[in-house]
Amino acid sequence: MQQYLKQDIQFLPGVGPKRAELLRDELKIQTFEDLITYYPYKYIDRSRFYKISEITADLPYIQIKGIIKGYRAIGKGRGQRLVADFTDGEGHLELVWFRGARWIPETYPLEREYVVFGKPTLYNRRINIIHPEIDDPSKQQILKSKLQPVYSTTEKLKDNYLTSKAISKLMSNVIRKLPAKFEETLPSWLIQKLNLLNLDTALRQIHFPDSPIQYQKAEFRLKFEELFYIQLHILQGKEINSRSFRGNVFEKVGDYFNTFFRKNLPFELTGAQKRVMKEIRRDTGSGRQMNRLLQGDVGSGKTLVALMSVLIAADNGFQSCIMAPTEILANQHYRSISAFLEGLGLDVELLTGSTKKSDRDRIHENLRNGSLRILIGTHALIEDVVQFNNLGLVIIDEQHRFGVAQRARLWKKADILPHVLVMTATPIPRTLAMTLYGDLDVSVIDELPPGRKPIITRHTYDSKRLEVFGFLTKEIARGRQVYIVYPLIQESEKMDYKDLEDGYVSITRAFPPPQYAVSVVHGRMKPEEKEISMRHFIAGRTHIMVATTVIEVGVDVPNASIMVIESAERFGLSQLHQLRGRVGRGADQSYCILMTGYKISEEGKKRIETMVRTNDGFEIAEEDLRLRGPGTIEGTQQSGVPFNLKIAHLGRDGQILQLARDIAEKIIEEDPELKLEKNHLFARHVKRGDPNRLNWGSIS
CATH of residue 36 = 1.10.150
In the predicted model, what is the mean pLDDT of residues 232-261?
87
d(CA 666, CA 551): 45
Quick check: 430 pLDDT over 80? no
User: Which among 692, 553, 567, 573 has a CA at the least distance from the CA of 629?
Assistant: 573
* Cβ burial 140-159 (10 Å sphere, 16+ → b, else e): eeebebebbbbbebeeebee
Asked which of 63-67, 621-625, 646-650, 691-695 is least confident by mean pLDDT, the reply is 691-695
What pLDDT, on a 0 to 100 scale, did the predictor assign at position 637?
A: 27
The answer to whether the beta carbons of residues 553 and 332 sit under 8 Å apart is: no
**Same structural domain for residues 22 and 76?**
no
Quick check: 579 pLDDT over 50? yes
In a domain, 228, yes or no: no
Q: How far apart are the first and last CA of the chain?
A: 40
Cα dihedral sign for 303, 306, 307, 308? positive
* Cβ burial 354-363 (10 Å sphere, 16+ → b, else e): ebeeeebeeb
> What number of residues does the chain have?
700
**Same structural domain for residues 330 and 418?**
yes
**Same structural domain for residues 417 and 470?**
no
In a domain, 211, yes or no: no
d(CA 639, CA 631): 9
What pLDDT, on a 0 to 100 scale, did the predictor assign at position 159?
A: 83
- Residue 109 identity (one-letter amino acid): P
d(CA 118, CA 150): 12
What pLDDT, on a 0 to 100 scale, did the predictor assign at position 413?
A: 75
In the predicted model, what is the mean pLDDT of residues 584-596?
88
Asked which of 83-92, 124-133, 248-257, 510-519 is least confident by mean pLDDT, the reply is 124-133
In the predicted model, what is the mean pLDDT of residues 74-82?
82
What pLDDT, on a 0 to 100 scale, did the predictor assign at position 633?
A: 36
User: Residue 591: which CATH number?
Assistant: 3.40.50.300
Asked which of 89-103, 142-156, 163-177, 655-669 is least confident by mean pLDDT, the reply is 142-156
**Same structural domain for residues 162 and 278?**
no
The answer to whether the beta carbons of residues 454 and 461 sit under 8 Å apart is: no
What pLDDT, on a 0 to 100 scale, did the predictor assign at position 522?
A: 82
Quick check: 696 pLDDT over 60? no
Query: Helix H segments across 487-553?
Result: 493-510, 527-538
**Same structural domain for residues 424 and 559?**
no
- Which of residues 123, 142, 161 is at a domain's end? 142
**Same structural domain for residues 438 and 299?**
yes
**Same structural domain for residues 3 and 75?**
no
Q: What is the pLDDT of residues 278-294, one digit of tens each?
A: 999 999 999 888 888 89
Give the range of the structural domain holding residue 283, as residue numbers without chain letter.
255-445
* Number of independent structural domains in the chain: 4
**Same structural domain for residues 175 and 117?**
no
Band of residue 403 on the pLDDT scale cut at 50, 70, 90: low
**Same structural domain for residues 380 and 415?**
yes
Of residues 257 and 692, more confidently modeled: 257
**Same structural domain for residues 179 and 52?**
no
d(CA 357, CA 351): 10
**Same structural domain for residues 157 and 134?**
no
The answer to whether the beta carbons of residues 562 and 483 sit under 8 Å apart is: yes
Q: What is the pLDDT of residues 498-556, one digit of tens each?
A: 577 888 888 999 999 889 999 998 877 887 888 888 889 988 999 999 988 777 555 67
Chain Cα centroid distance, residue 305? 26
Quick check: 601 pLDDT over 70? yes
- Residue 400 identity (one-letter amino acid): H
- Residue 684, beta-bridge partner list: none
What pLDDT, on a 0 to 100 scale, did the predictor assign at position 541?
A: 93
Chain Cα centroid distance, residue 383? 31
In the predicted model, what is the mean pLDDT of residues 354-379?
92
Using CA atoms, how far residue 699 sits from 253, 410, 437, 444, 590, in Å, is 27, 10, 11, 20, 38
pTM for the whole structure: 0.66
**Same structural domain for residues 395 and 306?**
yes
In the predicted model, what is the mean pLDDT of residues 385-391?
91
